Amino acid sequence: MKTAVVPVRTAVIGEGVDAVPARPVRPARIQDVAAAAGVSVSTVSNVLNRPERVSARTAERVRDAVAALDYVRHPGAAGLRTGHSSSIGLVLPDVTNSFYARIARGAADAAYDHGYSLVLCHSGDAPEREQGYFTMLVEQRAVGVVVVPLGADPGRLSRLRERGIPLVLADRAMPDRDGCSVSVDDVAGGRIAVQHLLDRGARDILVVNGESGIRQCADRYQGARQAVRSRRGARLRQVAAEEMTVAYGAKIADQLGELPDGVFCTNDFLAAGLCRGLAERGVRIPEDVQVVGYGDLDIASFVGTPLTTVRQPVEELGRAAVEMLLDEIEARAEHVHETRVFAPEPVPRDSTRTPGPTGT
């Protein structure tokens, strides 16, 4: 079989046709066209989509570059030309965390049901990276963005809203005057977790928490304090983990001096690690120490002693965020910003004792 040889067309733009080095094997990009024509990327975009904004001479130079480089516009160019797109941005702090992956699944399902695609952006919870993603999403004419912040402050969120693109916050409540948000009542969740321990006889309770600057962690601890204040003789202690991971949960278990009789970990990863670390010390769960996690993630069922936890409707967070975003986009003047809060619920398993007849 003979192999066809395709000639490569070459040119020096604006100075007639001459031989120049062959273009790379990869398809030409809009940046290549801009460099060849000696103009900016935005000028090339204007020639392709809004030619009336560019002088005839410049437009001709750009079109010559397009022809010489065999530049083919991205399939999304039609959306850029009309100023509309069928994509929604989802900005997550950690795409490898199963909690955020479940939010993404709910968001993707809702987007698909409404005829939209989902663009996943991993921010690492870095403000400058969030800003970069917003710039890209605005340039690509995404219809809106769902943001899942971790350690966000009000000023940072305000700067995101100022980018001129509809925005919904997920896993964080914000005043509806500032826009739409969807979250879980974490104060109630912390109260449920510790009340569960108290009802099963625990009186010396340790909260293994994340950083205080994370709003969800602060809210869960506030709920824990509310529960303890309602029970005479109960005591609450707290220790903060540098990272809310299995490894740090195990590290805290190894460093504990006086053992509590009940532990509330503010996420399931910490709880799984703590259970593993306690088991390595010969501490029995739940006979010696009862443990409650938070989130009802997959790991809660896979640890040696299945983990009592507090369930969050995680997929519903993602789905609701996308539906609220699309209502803002499609209803326009009729849209009213909303703060939607979901209720958590306890999921008892083997890491806590069955209560006796008197609840102790």
CATH label of the domain that carries residue 67? 1.10.260
Residues 99 and 166 in one domain: yes
pTM above 0.75, yes or no: no
Query: Which pLDDT score, from 0 to 100, does residue 239 have?
Result: 96
Is 218 inside a domain boundary?
yes
Residues 268 and 206 in one domain: yes
The C-alpha atoms of residue 351 and residue 18 are separated, in whole angstroms, by 77
The C-alpha atoms of residue 22 and residue 36 are separated, in whole angstroms, by 13
3-state secondary structure of 291: strand
The CATH number assigned to the domain holding 298 equals: 3.40.50.2300
Q: Which carries the bigger pLDDT value, residue 276 or residue 46?
A: 276
Is 321 inside a domain boundary?
yes
Q: Of 192, 254, 255, 260, nearest to 228 (Cα)?
A: 192
Whether the pLDDT of residue 1 is over 60: the answer is no
Q: Which domain holds residue 126?
A: 85-184+315-339
Residues 272 and 167 in one domain: no
Is 349 inside a domain boundary?
no
Whether the pLDDT of residue 164 is over 70: the answer is no
Residues 113 and 28 in one domain: no
Q: Which carries the bigger pLDDT value, residue 287 or residue 25?
A: 287
Scanning the structure block, which residue is given the tokens 């007849």?
A: 357
Residues 135 and 157 in one domain: yes
Q: Which carries the bigger pLDDT value, residue 77 or residue 344?
A: 344
Q: Tell me how long the chain is.
A: 360
Residues 196 and 305 in one domain: yes
What stretches of 140-259 show up as alpha helix (H) in DSSP? Answer: 154-161, 186-199, 215-229, 246-255
Question: φ, ψ for residue 201 (rounded to 5)?
Answer: 95, -5
Is 244 inside a domain boundary?
yes
Is 347 inside a domain boundary?
no
Residues 206 and 284 in one domain: yes
Query: Which pLDDT score, from 0 to 100, does residue 151 have?
Result: 62
Residues 180 and 165 in one domain: yes
Residues 63 and 125 in one domain: no
